[in-house]
Structure 1
């Protein structure tokens, strides 16, 4: 059996300076409390602020636009942003541990693209509105697409030489995303204009007001998948030793790999089915946290949930505030890409220098 509190060895670090200070040895409670407070602050700000100015006093006085925005419109949208950010961040942390690659994250690996393609196929076939279970069928279709993309990328990486595995993963993910985007664009030409407009959102990543049924469905999918990953946090620490050493300590590496892949696909599929492609959240949050608290996934995973939620809420708020003078707002996926793209290039450059 795997030791329930297996601590990550120094060889496990995805960042070479991750535990050179005693920060990683401190109690996790202050970190989690600080992350929870940051999330609460972001949620409150996202509800109170937006493209339309509202008054809390007028909302308390009686029905009107202010109460509608503060009670019925913004809270569900902010909840979706928080759920999406939490899920994408925790999946990015799990992928980086499983593949032992700091560049691994759902968007880069093609998982988000595969999930978007699965959801697009469901919409093109009318499954999303064909039955009362449409809100649950879309995440299921996206889950299947994300799982297929994950298995494809992982299969390519397993066949590559060890020294080229990281490059193979990145190239395979990029190609899966390109193929998925091309197929989504092709499907847009085969459906009605109204449905084609609905399909466009999978390529840009929007946070919009979800229906109660859809929000409940994505919450269940993300909660179940995240719970599976949190349960395996100590086992993910052991993977840093290498597969053979982890198996010698009693870890069933193949079973863990299957569980992580399924859980990640479940989370990403549900999120993408409502928001489309929101990239780089799973890269920014784990990388920043690893440098702050070290490589222990028992702390990294819950912190990723909290700060990932805070990040996407903040990006959604920025999209609403910074461009309201234009009478429009950019997709959240564009905001996260502007933040994550430079960070991705910096990490890639640093990893290349370390290999020289």
Structure 2
């Protein structure tokens, strides 16, 4: 016999929440990604115009737009000095900084997935050290660098060639039983980096103080020598590499989960890893050749975006590219104005400004987990 209900107490209602459908599950990440991407896209014209107008001579935004519109429409230019400063000096520099930052961020994103190491950056395979050794060798050879092949290819060509040769050595040393092994790739890259850094240091000890200053500035990264003619090659390589890598985003997601998970989906893991490494290293070589050893961008930009929107490479690659480009444009701007009339190398600014920002993001992500 059931006991009578107790007066004054209502029946207990279930507190179980109905499971959300697929649309509700995807809504929040999608909204967050759209918001982050929208902010990054909106910042591009603002940051580029501010960077192009700031320097030893301040140029208002309306004059910058006037110069750009006149150049693009083949109309007569106004003030010749303003036109020269904006169109010949600052805009190529700003665009090159954006391309280099975007390229490094994309390369870092891919390499972190390929080697499954959150500390991986575009320089983890020793590509930067090989490029630096070749470039410094050309810069410190004195009269020998001004003739023959050195005069033909220049510092950028030497850096690109050194990076490509380093990649070939890493791929050769990183094979185990005929296939690429992530651990061996990392070890080979680190070992070659130490070797090439020692050789680069030896070359620096043999030059005068004037040459040493130029060498150190290049090693720490700079876009001071940007010209319209130097934009074509990095633009083509960065655009082509980004388009191809974006097409591999689903495979990158699978590879990020592990070789077994990727193989179970019918992916040829070893072939995919080889092509991803080649494209990421070629992308790194292209931007190093024109800007020197810019550090930290390829590490902080992918991580910062990943903390905000997740690890889906279909979304991560575009957002990381925009974030890396904007970050390096701002770093170059700070380096130009903070200690005028001197100029700071990009590597100094990216480390000083990027590390605290990244640690704040990391702390907030850890606290909200």
TM-score, normalised by the number of residues in structure 1: 0.76
- C-alpha RMSD of matched pairs (Å): 3.7
Query: Structure 2 vs 1, CA of residues 345 and 266 (structure 1 numbering), >3 Å: closer, same or farther?
Result: same
**Contact 2:128 2:163 (C-alpha < 8 Å) held by counterparts:** no
Query: Structure 2 vs 1, CA of residues 173 and 343 (structure 1 numbering), >3 Å: closer, same or farther?
Result: farther
Aligned match of 1:144: 164
Which is worse superposed, 279-288 or 53-62?
53-62
The 5 Å alignment of 1:145-184 reads 145-148=165-168, 150-151=170-171, 154=174, 165=183, 169=186, 175-184=191-200
Aligned match of 1:222: 238
Deviation string 1:329-353 (CA, Å, 9 cap, x unpaired) is 110111112244567889999xxxx
Aligned match of 1:72: 88
The 5 Å alignment of 1:179-258 reads 179-188=195-204, 198-258=214-274
Find the partner of 1:86 among 98, 102, 107: 102
Which is worse superposed, 205-214 or 22-31?
22-31
Deviation string 1:97-144 (CA, Å, 9 cap, x unpaired) is 11121111023553322232244456655577633x658734641441
Whose relative contact order is higher, 1 or 2, with alpha carbons under 8 Å and at least 6 apart?
1
Aligned match of 1:337: 351
Find the partner of 2:44 among 5, 28, 39: 39
Q: What CA distance in whole angstroms lies between the structure 2 residues aligned with 1:346 and 1:182?
A: 34
Residue 54 of structure 1 pairs with residue 66 of structure 2: no
Cα distance, 1:145 vs structure 2: 4.0
TM-score, normalised by the number of residues in structure 2: 0.74
Cα distance, 1:92 vs structure 2: 0.6
Q: What CA distance in whole angstroms lies between the structure 2 residues aligned with 1:313 and 1:216?
A: 18
Q: What CA distance in whole angstroms lies between the structure 2 residues aligned with 1:216 and 1:180?
A: 29
Cα distance, 1:230 vs structure 2: 1.5
Gaps of 5+ in 1: 1-19, 350-356
Aligned match of 2:13: none
Q: What CA distance in whole angstroms lies between the structure 1 residues aligned with 2:189 and 2:351?
A: 16
Deviation string 1:265-291 (CA, Å, 9 cap, x unpaired) is 111111111111111101111111111
Gaps of 5+ in 2: 1-24, 67-76, 364-369
Query: Structure 2 vs 1, CA of residues 340 and 120 (structure 1 numbering), >3 Å: closer, same or farther?
Result: same
Residue 130 of structure 1 pairs with residue 130 of structure 2: no
Deviation string 1:159-206 (CA, Å, 9 cap, x unpaired) is 9x99xx59x94x765554333222223334667988766544432111
SS in structure 2 at match of 1:210: coil
Residue 285 of structure 1 pairs with residue 301 of structure 2: yes
Q: What CA distance in whole angstroms lies between the structure 2 residues aligned with 1:192 and 1:85?
A: 31
Query: Structure 2 vs 1, CA of residues 153 and 38 (structure 1 numbering), >3 Å: closer, same or farther?
Result: farther
